[in-house]
Structure 1
């Protein structure tokens, strides 16, 4: 029987059994024994599956769901996601190798990102991956590579829109950007696509990320569809695909509410008939990373020393900033807030205290939890950081100070 939820309960997706966090149907203490050492990341395949099912419930059935694997490129996670979604979006040659090792058809893999090398382009063309062209110069390089390989490259134009996703954590479009082709330059570029021997698929329009406001996402969708319809008039052939990005956010910090997915889906249901009428046969894709995997993962480190300094309790752990940069506050570059953190083997009941969980690095920025209320912990207890399934290990400075790495497991 489940006990009371830990602090930050609205943000967590894991059960508590006998005062111990349960991940993938396994008590955390048992999982730690099986992993063999801390620190580690654990991802729950059931939670991943549930999140995809939730999206299928609220989004129109015509929407094709793509996984942006930059959020979590662990091969086992990507393999699992490939069995659930309609496509995979990649951002490097390394990610391409992982994606091609799944059951996903190569034509359902798309490659975005500025600065693709000639080797990246050639490998993608040879594999049949759709290249999202980030510039006119990249388009010309793709054409040259295609002729050299005697293969007609599959391409789409990544558009830098003339609007932003309001209230987004990171703006990926609007204004000057290194991403995509400015919308006003796309018509001329499409004319050149028609002159070259390129297999044109459509557009990729991504305006922002980590947004919790349904109204902002709804407005972005409306503007994205209008822009795509306007630009399609200049295309060398009818659009086959329209990737409208993602931007769906998850709550990390106290006071943040969940995205109203039902409202987002309802608005798409209203918009899609007009889009499909204007762009017959187009496949509308939503590309999500963080929203799919973040809440299905935790980061676990072990307390190696309990220290009191001038009345303040520090739980010194074997993990930290080098494994989980986002939870530490990104090297102090943002106003730091605590991710939801608990003592994983003492989640409910018992004595509680205000404590800070810190790592082993020689910097005061190595901070997993700053003056948080948690169960009173001692040496050997497990510090758990929730919302850690996205932009965790591979988005962290793992070589910093040359400490051991963290393991990753899918359970």
Structure 2
């Protein structure tokens, strides 16, 4: 278990508060458990901290895949400069916000012809991931009679160290290999394409400042090298993000200061002299919303089996797959966890918190020290604002879907 940052959540009468609301009252308002609750003020504070660290002319984009809850997107639309989407459904949700379509980018492999046609018609920036996708967009543009806003997603020739998930370097389904980019650029002339620029996203969930800075530097150097081969001025440069958040005791929060300083040097020394028209974009998802959310589930049983105490709750991995350790983690580590209605009680026992599914994989807390939790108590998992419900097998065993609230 890790400590929640001081001041990140509040307490009232021994209860955790989210958005200033005691968790039991919040559960009554929602009407049932389990549920996800996202604190809009914590999102505001995190976005403000990123803005303060980044150079003033660097834009901030929200990666919708982290949490596509429509109410959250409406809130985020007033905080960030744009959205990055990865499906037609995410694109429709983003288009429903007040922001302009031109500040939405559509990335991801395997976009269907129908999705690409919708994106062309909507006027979003399509980040091309393959040569076949180039031709499909060309056809969609010709059919619609509208130039397609496009950027090339580049699979770089370097690997980002320290990333929890690698999305660039070596063979990848993401992006076009950097050595093929000049040839692809040569084919982007003509009326079908409104060329914008480039996107590089090499890794996610990175807690190493030096690694992030190195990735930024190598990304900028790589893209600047393509400028002369581009069919027009580079007006868009998405350098990705990958900023991580702490999930376990050994994790340390990122220090944004050196990252912002590094980016300022790159902007002043490389980007502005070579790409004076480029909008420079940092794309973040988990870092903006991950620590602002909790998953709340209620104890329905407790039992002892051969000396081990199990606390059984009405939620589980069908809502919070990542906390169970089944979302690509190599080594399972407990998310921070608490008894939300007994925050002032000291730990009394070591228990294993499990969900209600018929699989031993449904594990939310393994050998965690908690106050003694009985039937009716609320178990709260922190760091649940990103890659929660929509990253989980919600239909497994046909349990009801949890509510989501923005408070």
TM-score bucket of the superposed structures, by smaller chain: over 0.9
Aligned mates of 1:243, 1:406 — CA distance in 2:
34
SS at match of 1:193: coil
The 1:396–1:199 alpha-carbon spacing in structure 2 relative to 1, beyond 3 Å, is same
| More moved, 341-350 vs 208-217 | 341-350
**What's the counterpart of residue 346 of structure 1?**
342
Q: Counterpart of 2:369 in 1: which secondary structure?
A: strand
Give the equivalent residue in structure 2 for 1:315: 311
Aligned 8 A contact 2:2 2:247 in 1:
no
Query: Which string of whole-angstrom CA distances, capped at 9 and with x for unpartnered residues, describes residues 20-50 of structure 1?
Result: 1010111111101100000000000001111
Alignment match of 2:48 (pick from 28, 48, 53): 53
Q: 1:158 aligns with which of 153, 160, 174?
A: 153
Tell whether the 8 Å contact from 2:104 to 2:125 is kept in structure 1 after alignment. yes
What are the superposed Cα offsets for residues 75-128 of structure 1, whole Å, 9 maximum, x if unpaired?
A: 011111111000000000010110011011000000001111111011111111
Q: Give the equivalent residue in structure 2 for 1:124.
A: 119
> 2:223 aligned with 1:228, yes or no?
yes
Deviation, structure 1 residue 311: 2.3
SS at match of 1:194: coil
CA contact (8 A) 2:248 2:333 kept: yes
Distance 1:291 1:200 in 2: 29
Contact 1:154–1:198, Cα closer than 8 Å, also in 2: yes
Deviation at 1:389, TM superposition (A): 0.3
The residue number in structure 2 matching 1:186 is: 181
User: Hey, what does 1:271 align to over in structure 2?
Assistant: 266
Partner of 2:27: 32
* 2: CA distance, partners of 1:351 / 1:247: 35
Whole-angstrom distance in 2 between the partners of 1:11 and 1:214 = 22
Q: Alpha-carbon deviations, 1:5-31, whole Å to 9, x = none?
A: x95234882122221101011111110
| Cα distance in 1, alignment partners of residues 191 and 360 from structure 2 | 55
5+ unaligned residues in a row in structure 2: which ranges?
none
Q: Secondary structure at the match of 1:21?
A: strand
Contact 1:12–1:387 (CA<8 Å) still a contact in 2?
A: no
Q: Is the 8 A contact 1:213 1:259 kept in 2?
A: yes
| Residue of structure 1 equivalent to 2:253 | 258
CA RMSD of aligned residues (A): 1.4
1:299 aligned residue (292, 295, 299): 295
Equivalent in the alignment of 2:331: 335
Report the count of equivalent residues: 406
Contact 2:205 2:245 in 1 (8 A): yes
TM-score of the aligned structures, taking structure 2 as reference length? 0.97
Where 1:173 maps in the other structure, the secondary structure is coil
Instruction: State the distance in 1 between where 2:354 and 2:288 align.
Output: 28
- Matched-pair contact (CA < 8 Å) for 2:146–2:192: no
Partner of 1:3: none
In the TM superposition, what is the alpha-carbon distance from 1:375 to its structure 2 partner? Answer: 1.2
**Do 2:66 and 2:285's aligned partners in 1 also have CA atoms closer than 8 Å?**
yes
CA contact (8 A) 1:60 1:265 kept: yes
Query: What is the correspondence of 1:82-161 to structure 2 with a 5 Å cutoff?
Result: 82-161=77-156
Following superposition, the deviation at residue 205 of structure 1 comes to 0.8
d(CA) in 2 for partners of 1:350, 1:130: 52
4+ runs deviating over 6 angstroms = none
1:12/1:119 Cα in 2 relative to 1: closer, same or farther (>3 Å)?
A: farther
Displacement after TM superposition at 1:350 (Å): 4.6
Q: What secondary structure does 1:96 align onto?
A: helix
Q: Which runs of 5+ in 1 are unaligned?
A: 1-5
In structure 2, C-alpha distance between the alignment counterparts of 1:75 and 1:380, rounded to whole Å: 30
Distance 2:98 2:267 in 1: 29
- TM-score scaled by length of structure 1: 0.96
